[in-house]
Structure 1
């Protein structure tokens, strides 16, 4: 018997709350972090669609996402969003625990600091502002 596992499909009308996101300006200088994202939970299947929709205008069709397996203990290998497949991979390095890397074919990559969902609003706001304004990477 053959079969395939179905992948999560997210229709545009299913996009729930907008992503809590801050991005650095289009500064021509090199940056290690392009901004910050504060997801509402550790459920990547629930959180990623809103982020991809929010980044669409700036980074186009994101086709690959790399996340840390410690921050996102369960995640699908791929998902379909608005008719396109997004491949997800996980890494297990301490240096990437609070980062997400999004790749868009022909445009480049977007590296975001991930503010832990359980962070108090004041701390999350401070971290997001620092990630947006600082050209170097930050440690959490």
Structure 2
């Protein structure tokens, strides 16, 4: 069973195609999990400040995926490049209170904002 906390917007368009609430600041633990949902990717770009380590690739059972890092721009964003398109997700910090994080995930998926 997947522990991926992810909400995709119906249109996957605009500044954010959804939101992702990782369980940690470790891309080596988190990215293989989200890839089970998103499928095969060509590369990923992450915001430097959101993660505690900064590898240049993520090793998977069937190969590796290059990682790029943004410094200062696109804070709290992750960009996933597939073969013919890309998906930008807002990254909710792992330490965010569960009620707040769930509200942000729902909002990212296009559900009406609940009272916070």
Question: TM-score, with normalisation over the residues of structure 1?
Answer: 0.72
Gaps of 5+ in 1: 1-15, 135-140
> Which residue number in structure 1 is paired with residue 101 of structure 2?
124
SS in structure 1 opposite 2:30? helix
Using the alignment, how far apart are the partners of 2:45 and 2:14 within structure 1?
18
TM-score by length of 2: 0.86
What root-mean-square deviation, in Å, do the aligned CA atoms of Structure 1 and Structure 2 show? Answer: 1.9
Superposed counterparts of 1:107-122, under 5 Å: 108-122=85-99
Cα distance per residue 1:82-125 (max 9 Å; x no partner)? 312200011111x422110000122x101001111000110001
Deviations 1:46-96 (A, max 9, x none): 11110111111xxxx212110111111312101222312200011111x42
- Indicate the residue corresponding to 1:68 in structure 2: 47
CA distance in 1, matches of 2:42, 2:61: 12
Misfit runs of 4+, over 6 Å: none
